[in-house]
Structure formats: C-alpha cells, structure tokens
Amino acid sequence: MKKIINNPADFVEESIDGLVKSHPDVYAIAEDNNRVITRTKKASNKVGIVTGGGSGHLPVFTGYIGKGFLDSCAIGSVFASPSVEQMVSAIKNADNGNGVLCIIGNYGGDVMNFEMACEMVGAEGIKTKKIIVADDIASAKEEEKSKRRGIAGMIFVFKIAGAIAETSASLDDIFKIASEANNNIRTLGVALSPCILPEAGKPTFEIKNDEIEIGMGIHGEPGIKREKLRQANDLVDDLYKRIMDDSKLMANDSVAIMINSLGATPLEELYIISKRVNENLSKSNIKNAKTYVGRYATSMEMAGMSITTLKLNDNLKKYLLAKSECPFWNN
C-alpha cells in the first residue's frame, strides 16, 4: 500500500479536519459530533438539506455543503454508513424550523440509519422527508429500479434541492421537484483498477491489467460484465447506448451530462470521453444544456469513470444552473 497518510486509523478525522481548515469559510465541524460537517454560516428561514454516507468518495458526500447545496452531512468510516447518532446530529444542525430533506444513496445501512434518525427527530417535532437516489443502471433492471445503487447522480439531486431551498420553498415543494430530478437520472460506470482502503491495506478487488468491468459499484460491488479494455470511443458508445435504452431519452429532449472520474482517471481521458458523449448526443438530436467533467464522486484511487445523464425541463434546468457557493462545483 502506497498512500500519503499518517496512522490509517486517523484517516477519516484527519481528512475532515484538513477539509475544514482548507475551506473555513464554507465548512465547520458540528459542536456536538466530530463526524458531522455543517455550513460555517448556518442558513435561516429555509428547509435544511442533509445527506450522509461513508468516507472515501470525496467530494461526495461532505464536499457538497454550501450555499445552494447541502446544509450538513454525516460522515461514516471508509465505505461505511454513518451511525444513527451522527445522522440525528446532521438533521438537527440543518433544521431551521421549516423541516429537513434527507437525500440518501440507496445503500442498506445508509437508508436504515436515516429512517431511524428521522423517526427520532420526528418525536422531537422536526419534520423530515427522504429521497433515496438509485441511479446506477448496472445494479438492477429497470423494473426493479428501487434496488439500484445511488452513485454520481445524487450530486444533481443535491444541487437542485439545495437551489430550491434557497428560494424559501416549502419542504413539500422541494421534495416534489427534487424527486422529479431523481427519477430522471441514469448513471453507468466502468472500473479499470481497484482502490485500497487505508485500514485494510489491500485492494478491494482484483482485475487483470488488460481488463475492465462495466457497472462495478463504487465500493467494488460486482458489475454486469468483465471484458478486455477497448478504445475510448467503442467503450463510450456501449455505455451511451445502455443509458439511452434505459432512460428512454428522445430527440429534442434536453439533458445535463456528468463525466466523472472514480479517482485516478485523469482529466485528459475524461475529456476524450466527453467528446464522444457529446458527439453521440448530437447524432441523437438531444440538446446538452451543460457538461460537467471532473472528480465528483470517487472511490479512493480507483481508476475508472462514470457517465450520468439528467433529463431536464425548464424548471430543473433553472435550479441546476442556479448560482451556488461550493468548492467542488463550478456554477
């Protein structure tokens, strides 16, 4: 294992501390729990927007706190769910008396613990609603969409919900529009190499140097197909077709696209991928309102990438492109 770290047992706390010290105008550690991050300047008179999940995926989850995005986030150990206690703290720190929307990736521990946390704060009078993001088309068939994992597409839901909340909209209204966005998102990725968890000290899976795995999850969950590495255009065409078939996008639809590095894949390769995706969109007569290229949802140092599409209408486009203040987002 080659990592620039100190004691592996301190990895999460030190990375959180470094994030806060690097961006003290944006992030703060909650006074009641050192695994909860909040906005430095707490918002008022708005619905709180909260998420939570395991470490090892920056900028997901913690990185997306900020004006026009999240209000707080509970952080678990590497690839592990936060505790119920941490989630309760995140919800309470985001609450302004107008309710809290919890946006959760579809993983058993995250969903179960947030459900318990929402019940506990509900007993104290805090109203909550939950959106479970399940955008990974490789993890279940369309008719079993509720079983799909939540991956990079959740960032679009964070952004849209956060933007709506800044308008002082009600919890019900934010839930309705953000749920529409959630239903319009599809993601598919490919892994080229594994990552190494600091405390484990060994790769999360094994794959040959000339192989890739389509649909592998961000924790090393099995994908749908392992095959020989192909040229970029051929690979992108395959992923694009799978996404189009699942999303039922049609000519003259409008979308936003995210080309995401899983950690180690460099920007140059991402832009080669983006070039081909945009060429395919043009051939399909689908309008691309915005392309996001970079590291948005990672898996430590895993090499690989994912492609996400979000079908837009005028309302979703307005909130997606609304100004925000977040170190890991460019509008």
Q: Which of 57, 129, 148, 186 is catalytic?
A: 57
At 94, which helix (H) or strand (E)?
helix 84-94
CA distance 213 to 221: 10
β-pairing, 48-55 vs 100-105, is parallel
Residue with tokens 């708005």: 46
| DSSP category for residue 196 | B
Strand ranges across the sheet with 303-312: 225-228, 211-214, 185-193, 303-312, 254-261, 287-294
Neighbouring C-alpha atoms within 13 Å toward the C-beta of 235: 28
Q: Which two tokens stand for residue 318?
A: 């307005």
CA distance 141 to 25: 43
Terminus-to-terminus CA distance in the chain, angstroms? 37
**Side chain identity at residue 41, one-letter code:** K
Residue with tokens 């308008």: 167
Contact 286, 249 (CB under 8 A): yes
Burial of residue 252, with CB atoms counted within 10 A of its CB: 0-12 exposed, 13-18 middle, 19 or more buried = exposed
Active site residue 23: no
Contact 215, 188 (CB under 8 A): yes
Contact 306, 270 (CB under 8 A): no
CA distance 228 to 260: 21
Q: Which of 219, 242, 276, 295 is catalytic?
A: 219
Q: Which two tokens stand for residue 192?
A: 């080229």
Q: Which of 170, 173, 138, 168 lies closest to 153, judged by CA? A: 138
- Give catalytic residue positions: 57, 219
